[in-house]
Amino acid sequence: MSAPVDQAARDRITTTGLRETLFVDAGAGTGKTSTLVDRIVHLVQHEQVSLRDLAAITFSEAAAAELRDRVRRALDNGARADDAVAAERCADALADFDTAAISTLHGFAHRLLREHPIEVAIPPRVEVLDEVQSILAFEDRWDAHVDRWQNDERYVPLVVRLWSCGIELRRAFGPSLKDVAAVLDDNWDRLEEFTPAPMRLPRALDRRPLLAAIDDALVLGEECLDPDDKLLFHLATLLPEWRAVQNLDPLDDDRLVALLRKRSKWSPGRKGTKKTWPDIESARACVAAVDDAAASLCTEAVDDVLSIWLGVLHEVTLAAAHERRDAGQLEFHDLLVLARRLLRTSPAARRDVHQRYTRVLLDEFQDTDPIQIELALRIAADPTHDAADWRDLELPPGRLFFVGDPKQSIYRFRRADIALFHETRDLVGAGAQVSLVQNFRTVEPILAWVNAVFDALMPEESPSQPRYSPLSAMRGPSKLADHRVVLFGAAHPDDPPAAELRRREAADVAAIVDAIRADPSSRPVWGRADDGTESWRPARCSDITVLIPSRASLPMLEGALVAADVPYRVDTTTLVFESPAIRDLLAVLMAIDDPADAVSVVAALRSPVLACSDPDLLDWVQAGGTFDYRGAGSPADVPGAVAVGARSGAVAEAMAALSAWHDAARWCEPATLLERIVRERDVFALALTDRRPRDVWRRVRFLIDQARQFADVGGGHLRAFVRWADLQRREGSRVPEPLLPETDDDAVRIMTFHGAKGLEFPIVVLSGLTTRPGGARGGPQVNWHADGRPEISLGAGKATGHFEVLNEFESEMDVDEKLRLLYVGVTRARDHLFVSTHRRAKDDGSNLTYGARVQTVSAAHANGRFVTMPAEAEAAVSSSVPAAVPAAMPGETARSGVPVEIRLPRAPLAATVEYPSPDDPLVVEHRAWCAERDALLEASANERPVWSATAIAAAMAHEVPRSARPPVPSRSPVEVDAMPDDTTGEPAPRGGTAFGRAVHAVLQHAAAPSPPGSADIAALAALARRAAADSLLGPEHVPAVEAAVAQVLASPTVAAAFASPRRWRELPVCATIGAGVLVEGFVDLLAEIDGSLVLVDYKTDRVDPGSIGDYVARYAPQLAAYALAIESAVGRPVDRGVLVFATTDAALEREVPDFDDVKAQVVLFLDRVHKG
């Protein structure tokens, strides 16, 4: 083997430059860890550096363990060297090895604090909280804070304003202020750099510009010449909301913000016809001015309240950090901050550490953060030089060694900053910079493509991106195969939705694996053959690794591999928590933890662990069974169990099991409970039905081990473990580390790009590259000013004032980091690389997806260095890649020609199982069931139109000429004055006015009158007071709510419905009708009266009894849509639709005439709209 092209640089690192400060830029696969180990050993052998005086710091626990192991082995080899002096020094180093500071940065910081606790005011004995303990401690602190704020009159106005702005203090799903607090908690040292303003009440909002804009817009209607003009109709629809704004209490800013935040679309767009208005553009601008004024008020309110809450969070976050320090219970970030404070503030400690650690070596320096670099420089610098800024420190030569690859900097969420890498490089000077470019990992054809593509993608250095440095290949290809990069997938002209695009991509991935299995010699890999020698050998499944950027595409990928009978395993921790086996067990634990959570209980019952089918559950409910398993000691004790019969015995048994486990959870740890569930429900035996039982066993053992670790660190009860497990599923919740595979398991591996960092694989398939650069970052975000002030965002319209200014640069940083993530993925490959270029045709524009960018750049800059695979539709053609492709070998003429198209064969399926006859009735029935299920799944994977029943009625009314339309129902003064339910902090279950919601809420919970038609006045009064308070109606409106409800209960159809034993109130409906249209909504009342289904809908509009027929005509399509959805769901006709107009004087009940005809009209309307 010839010498590396960068041998001089390697010699400088390991021998000639041992007394120099060096900054090494080491490309992927260049052996940077080997050179780091060689430098350590040579420092011991030739510079007489004691291992106790040396600190080698790396990024992760896995990397630190590997580095320690490799240094130990190198020293052990050195101790047997011929040079007696060098051997003796290595032997001495081995004797000191257990005390060597070869660790993560957190481990090194902990070491410093143990040696100098007094200087930073911590107890001599410090407990370090691991990630589990830190998460749980934060959760407990936050719950305590929320309880205090909601019960402290000083904070109540802030809580109410926060809710008015649509921001929650905590919520199970979606962003909340808690997420912002978690980010601040992880970066609490930045909060020390600024002092927020004192806490105050929210500022009063100036609503005068909004009211003036509304006044200007209200007079526009007089100018329109056409009563059917769309802009005029738009004004009419906005009138109730504008009147509500005008009628609000001038001092009630919370109601104003809540109302504006929930406003409909006020902007006029391009509505209106030019010839019907004197100046159509001025009219549109006048309406748009109202929307702009409303948006400005909302923005002002959000910025104001978030600024106040940032001050509150500043206080509680720093207080928590100080409490941890005083108690000696430190989190990982506390270790770093306190170690930095130690070196900043204590000259004695700085002098001691400087004398103790004469050499500091930093591995993976591209993942550094400001604290790490400051720690290293303050240790190495002259201890008498007390510079406030680490950039001003004087560095003696030879004490520092940096090594990293800026192109692999992918941990910005952990404060890794590529600008710091560049800044430190410039600080040490050009003379100290060394580059490693000789790649020992990847064969030349792949590396040639990587160089061409990334030289184009990273052409120049910028504050957020390094310039690409080409790598030189040491390894040549096999003589019997084509090692060029394969690009698979193309632009899909039908622009499929994301789920379908991922499905097609997954099918191609499965086809690639299938082809390799069918002809393993076509993709030879370098490795240990069966006879123990290293050579080119046929590929195995275990040689193939599929890398994905996130878990979004994992379900489709798993489905495609299962369908192709490809063995696989998921190897990254965060992905394991998404696997079906783990999700099923966690669903059972959630049901055990909270018996009142019927959704969790049903999910657990439907899981394979408890194995209850949907027909079983339906029978259970129809027989009167409930999903509250408390008190069930045996199947007979479960409510409804006796009446259910044999078919639902599984439900009774499962409910009894849940009850027993719930009782056991009070006194046993989560790990013990999990083991009991696995044992009693034969989970390991159940895994034998899976194509990959070993994977299921490994994942179940992993979850039990995690539960045991949780208990070992004092994690607590079952609810805490379930909550912690849910946190582990989040992207970025931890640095992913791969799980150890079974050594004899020949299966394809699936990993995330982050999880694969630092690893290498013979064959790599990159999937999931459909992300667009510069897309909106999801979830809560915190951006930081240079002075430490944070700017936060919890979604659209919920950000502090200067967030967007900082976010422009953050978005650019995200784009660049995703390119670096792509670089990490492609450089994991040793022998073969497949890259997905699936995308929609519309993505082939200026804002390309990453797959499309790869395709475009490859075609422009890497022509001849890659081949293409046909799209999914052509992948099944059985013409395989020839065993030898001499025309495609490196250096020959064909390489400079056009890209070669290859076709991949599908592997034959092994028929090892004897199946029943195809004519067997059970087989026929099962086949029909599978076909129906597949059709439903296929339909659910595609986007379908979704309508609410209310929207259908409104759209059908809009089709009628204005002169013939039914009148728009007016609102009572009570309704206009009432504000939507926006400031309670609870999700509003229904739309409509506050008065209407209050009436509906009382009718939902009111007891059946006895005798029918009467009402319990006291009970109604209590319900009305509660409903009015929940809807933010004043006490003056409670009598009106009571009166309306009493009138409704007295109406004949409602009285008959309440007297029926089969009635359903506030029934959620979602079903397909017509041309595949999904209709959803809430049915006020459905009852079986005299054997017929009757649908009742309450209306609180103020109606003219003389025009009641017009109102019935307007609402009839809404009831018909509800009826069609119910009929589709339950298979029974809804015979009558009844409208009950609830007023304070009398309830007006009207049945929809010709109900079946109205239903037919709704179906025709939807067919016409969606079929054209």
Distance CA(707)–CA(589), nearest Å, equals 12
Task: Look at residues 852, 965, 814, 21 and name the one whose alpha carbon lies nearest to residue 433.
Answer: 21
650 SS3 class: helix
Half-sphere exposure of 250 (CA within 13 A, CB side): 3
- Which residues 6+ apart lie within 8 Å of 84 measured at CB? none
Residue 35 has pLDDT above 80, yes or no: yes
Residue 670 has pLDDT above 70, yes or no: yes
Which one-letter amino acid corresponds to residue 469?
S
Residue 764 has pLDDT above 90, yes or no: yes
790 SS3 class: strand
pLDDT at 809: 75
Distance CA(381)–CA(427), nearest Å, equals 13
For residue 963, name the pLDDT band (cuts at 50, 70, 90): very low
- Which residues 6+ apart lie within 8 Å of 265 measured at CB? none
Q: Please list the residues that pair with 803 across neighbouring strands.
A: none
The hierarchical CATH code for the domain 946-1171 is 3.90.320.10
Residue 1013 has pLDDT above 70, yes or no: no
CB atoms within 10 A of CB 973: 11
Show the tokens assigned to 329: 């219970």
For residue 895, name the pLDDT band (cuts at 50, 70, 90): very low
Show the tokens assigned to 406: 């800026």
Distance CA(321)–CA(159), nearest Å, equals 24
Distance CA(898)–CA(837), nearest Å, equals 18
Distance CA(701)–CA(708), nearest Å, equals 10
pLDDT at 1137: 94
623 SS3 class: coil
For residue 1020, name the pLDDT band (cuts at 50, 70, 90): low
Half-sphere exposure of 504 (CA within 13 A, CB side): 26
For residue 305, name the pLDDT band (cuts at 50, 70, 90): very high
Element (H, E) at 939: helix 921-941
Residues 190-247: tens digit of each pLDDT: 998 888 888 999 999 999 999 999 999 988 888 888 888 899 899 888 988 999 999 9
214 SS3 class: helix
Q: Following DSSP, what letter does each residue of 131-146 receive, concatenated?
A: HHHHHHHHHHHHHHHH
- Which residues 6+ apart lie within 8 Å of 1119 measured at CB? 949, 1095, 1097, 1137, 1139, 1152, 1155, 1158
Show the tokens assigned to 678: 């696995």
pLDDT at 599: 86
For residue 907, name the pLDDT band (cuts at 50, 70, 90): very low
Task: Look at residues 359, 360, 439, 363 and name the one whose alpha carbon lies nearest to residue 403.
Answer: 363
Distance CA(327)–CA(323), nearest Å, equals 6
pLDDT at 644: 43
Q: Which whole number is the average pLDDT over 1016-1040? A: 66
Residues 721-761: tens digit of each pLDDT: 887 777 766 544 444 444 555 556 788 999 888 888 888 99
Show the tokens assigned to 981: 């339910």
Ramachandran angles phi, psi of 481, nearest 5°? -155, 165
Element (H, E) at 317: helix 280-327
**Nearest 10 degrees: Cα torsion 852, 855, 860, 863:** 180
CB 869 within 8 A of CB 855: no
pLDDT at 715: 62
pLDDT at 291: 94
The answer to whether the Cα torsion of 174, 180, 186, 187 is positive or negative is positive
Which of 308-322, 701-715, 864-878, 881-895 shows the lowest per-residue confidence on average (mean pLDDT)? Answer: 881-895
Residues 839-887: tens digit of each pLDDT: 888 776 555 788 888 888 888 888 888 888 754 433 333 333 333 333 3
Average pLDDT in the chain: 82
Residue 289 has pLDDT above 80, yes or no: yes
pLDDT at 163: 92
Element (H, E) at 764: strand 761-766
Residue 546 has pLDDT above 90, yes or no: yes
Percent of the chain with pLDDT over 70: 83
CB 791 within 8 A of CB 194: no
Residue 279 has pLDDT above 50, yes or no: yes
Residue 62 has pLDDT above 90, yes or no: no
CB 1078 within 8 A of CB 1069: no
Element (H, E) at 24: strand 22-26
Percent of the chain with pLDDT over 90: 36
Model's pTM, two decimal places? 0.68
Q: SS3 helix, strand, coil % of the chain, rounded to 5?
A: 55, 15, 35
Residue 979 has pLDDT above 60, yes or no: no
CB 614 within 8 A of CB 606: yes
Fold of 7-104+358-436: Rossmann fold (3.40.50)
For residue 1027, name the pLDDT band (cuts at 50, 70, 90): low
pLDDT at 909: 32
For residue 393, name the pLDDT band (cuts at 50, 70, 90): confident
Fold of 475-572+743-901: Rossmann fold (3.40.50)
Element (H, E) at 14: none
Which of 172-176, 671-675, 680-684, 849-853 shows the lowest per-residue confidence on average (mean pLDDT)? Answer: 172-176
Residue 8 has pLDDT above 70, yes or no: yes
Q: What b/e sequence results for 3-39 when a residue is b if at least 16 CB atoms lie within 10 Å of its CB, and e otherwise? A: ebebeebbebbbeebbebbbbbbbbbbbbbbebbbbb
pLDDT at 494: 86
- Which residues 6+ apart lie within 8 Å of 40 measured at CB? 54, 56, 71, 74, 361
Which of 78-92, 102-116, 438-452, 1003-1017 shows the lowest per-residue confidence on average (mean pLDDT)? Answer: 1003-1017
Task: Look at residues 995, 1069, 1008 and name the one whose alpha carbon lies nearest to residue 1034.
Answer: 995
- 86-95, 579-588, 769-778 — most confident range: 86-95
Q: How wide is the angle at C-alpha 1128 spanned by C-alphas 1124 and 1129, nearest 5°? A: 120
Distance CA(68)–CA(1053), nearest Å, equals 80
Tokens 């007297």 found at: 1059
User: Which regions of 54-136 does DSSP assign to beta strands (E)?
Assistant: 54-58, 101-104, 127-128
Distance CA(917)–CA(923), nearest Å, equals 8
The residue count for the chain? 1172
Which one-letter amino acid corresponds to residue 1071?
A
Alpha-carbon distances, residue 892 vs 479, 550, 766, 864, 901 (angstroms): 13, 39, 28, 11, 18
pLDDT at 883: 32
Q: How wide is the angle at C-alpha 872 spanned by C-alphas 871 and 878, nearest 5°? A: 95
Residues 690-708: tens digit of each pLDDT: 777 877 888 888 888 888 8
pLDDT at 708: 85
Q: How wide is the angle at C-alpha 305 spanned by C-alphas 304 and 311, nearest 5°? A: 100
- 361-365, 724-728, 977-981 — most confident range: 361-365
Residue 956 has pLDDT above 70, yes or no: yes
pLDDT at 646: 42
- 17-26, 367-376, 416-425, 706-715 — most confident range: 17-26
For residue 99, name the pLDDT band (cuts at 50, 70, 90): confident
Which DSSP state fits 1102?
A: B
Residue 446 has pLDDT above 90, yes or no: yes
Alpha-carbon distances, residue 580 vs 510, 698, 1021 (angstroms): 20, 13, 49
Ramachandran angles phi, psi of 1068, nearest 5°? -70, 135
pLDDT at 747: 87
Q: Please list the residues that pair with 722 across neighbouring strands.
A: none
Task: Look at residues 865, 813, 811, 867 and name the one whose alpha carbon lies nearest to residue 837.
Answer: 867
CATH 3.40.50.300 residue ranges of the chain are: 7-104+358-436, 475-572+743-901
Q: What b/e sequence results for 129-147 when a residue is b if at least 16 CB atoms lie within 10 Å of its CB, and e otherwise? A: bebbbbbbbbbebbeebbe
The hierarchical CATH code for the domain 581-728 is 1.10.486.10
Show the tokens assigned to 130: 């691991």
pLDDT at 1012: 54
Ramachandran angles phi, psi of 723, nearest 5°? -65, -40
- 269-283, 626-640, 1137-1151 — most confident range: 269-283
pLDDT at 742: 55
